[in-house]
Amino acid sequence: MIRPDLSLPIPDDITAAHFIGIGGSGMSGLARMFLDAGIRVSGSDRADSANLQALAALGAEVHIGHDAAHLGDADTVVHTGAIWPENPEFLLAKERGLHVIHRSQALHWLIRGHRLVSVAGAHGKTSSTGMIVTALRELGADPNFVNGGVIEQLGVSSSSGSDDLFVIEADESDGTFLLYDTSVALITNVDPDHLDHFGSEEAFHEAFMTFANKAGEAVVISSDDPGAQRVRAGITHPHVISFGFAEDADLRLSDVSTESGVAATLTLRGDTVRMRLGVPGVHNAVNAAGAVAVLTTLGYGLADAARAVQGFAGTVRRLELHGVERGVSVYDDYSHHPTEVRAALEAMRTIVGDGRIIAIQQPHTYSRTQHMYREFAEVLERFADHTVMLDVYGAREDPVPGVTGELVSGAFEDPRHVHYVPDWQQAADYTAAVARDGDYVITLGCGNVYQIIPQVLEALRADTED
């Protein structure tokens, strides 16, 4: 893992940019924006993907695997924190004295001169960003945007627009969200995470206070999340709008219904409007309230903002249906924190009817699993009917002895509710064996757990044939 060095200069002019790890959702979106800006783009990743193929079709030179030769004649190299310091492309770029910048600095370069809306928070960033972007387009605007996931109805995670407005999902995991010159800051929640970087909850909260106080125009923040309220106490910004269920929220949610998606009443300064979303889950009603609050700070009326947000169709890897076999619906969700897992399972509970929820959980990073394995077990045991536990997706981290999926499964109070299966094919076969007509299977995790879905669907088909 490479920690970003934000003190390094960002070049004024970039002619040819090489992206190490170009296939990731965030990096591929940046690469697309660089292509839109007329910059020659090349990049590499460890495996082929739909993102790489799409970038190649747009004119990028993409490579599978990492090799110093892939650097070509690039004058700037963009990297993520997930690569290793021994990466040959990274080492050669340093040796040549090229501009080597973190992806957040590349995004900063793109944003220059725009009015920026930054969406930050431990959970809900991608959906909230997608809601703001799709609502702005519904309202006739044409914003630039870079999101952490593909917006369903747009089919992309980023796009260049003709307006002055730029909307981004701002990553707090490594503190780089403090780099941007934000005009309107949205804080969805401040649930402690990424403590491997920040070191303590206090430092995590202080980073959000700094993020909020730096905003040029306004801060929009949750009225309900305990962490957000601790941050709120340290915000000195003169223009703060709170949103949520709290009685004293500036934009208040009430009368929530979870039938046919989710609906809620929004009240702001005496005005009231009913909002109905096609995406399920109370958490999405809360995300929508935050998006509406942002839109009102940009000058739109409450009714117009609520109407525009209603058209949001979701983002890829957020309660995404992949197929139905033998009456069993198979979904995927990006959730990788106990709070997110609970929200996804609660949302699924509103649509599963009389069926059961079978969760296939892939813990993400050894540090998070070691720190939160009890919370994961508690949430999964309470909100899923059965859990199939895979092993940890280490991402940027080296393995930690004793930290496996079995650490989570062993924390279940009733071992009958969980089955630890590190082998993916065995996990798929086991899922098919226990699933019955009307059940919902959901893969959970921000690693590569979604890649087990074809095996699950095939196992369900084979079970039908048998």
Q: Alpha-carbon distance 207 to 230, whole Å? A: 12
Q: Alpha-carbon distance 4 to 7, whole Å? A: 9
Is residue 76 flagged as an active site residue? no
Of 125, 258, 397, 431, catalytic: 125
Of 80, 89, 129, 169, catalytic: 169
Q: Alpha-carbon distance 406 to 389, whole Å? A: 7
Is residue 15 flagged as an active site residue? no
3 state SS for the chain: CCCCCCCCCCCCCCCEEEEECCCCHHHHHHHHHHHHCCCEEEEEECCCCHHHHHHHHCCCEEEECCCHHHHCCCCEEEECCCCCCCCHHHHHHHHHCCEEEEHHHHHHHHHCCCEEEEEECCCCHHHHHHHHHHHHHHCCCCCEEEEEEEECCCCEEEECCCCCEEEEECCCCCCHHHHCCCCEEEECCCCCCCHHHHCCHHHHHHHHHHHHHCCCCEEEEECCCHHHHHHHCCCCCCCEEEEECCCCCCEEEEEEECCCCEEEEEEECCEEEEEEECCCCHHHHHHHHHHHHHHHHCCCCHHHHHHHHCCCCCECCCCEEEEEECCEEEEEECCCCHHHHHHHHHHHHCCCCCCCEEEEECCECHHHHHHHHHHHHHHHHHHCCEEEECCCECCCCCCCCCCCHHHHHCCCCCHHHEEECCCHHHHHHHHHHHCCCCCEEEEECCCCHHHHHHHHHHHHHHHHHC
Is residue 126 flagged as an active site residue? yes
Of 76, 80, 126, 404, catalytic: 126
Catalytic residues, by residue number, are: 125-126, 169
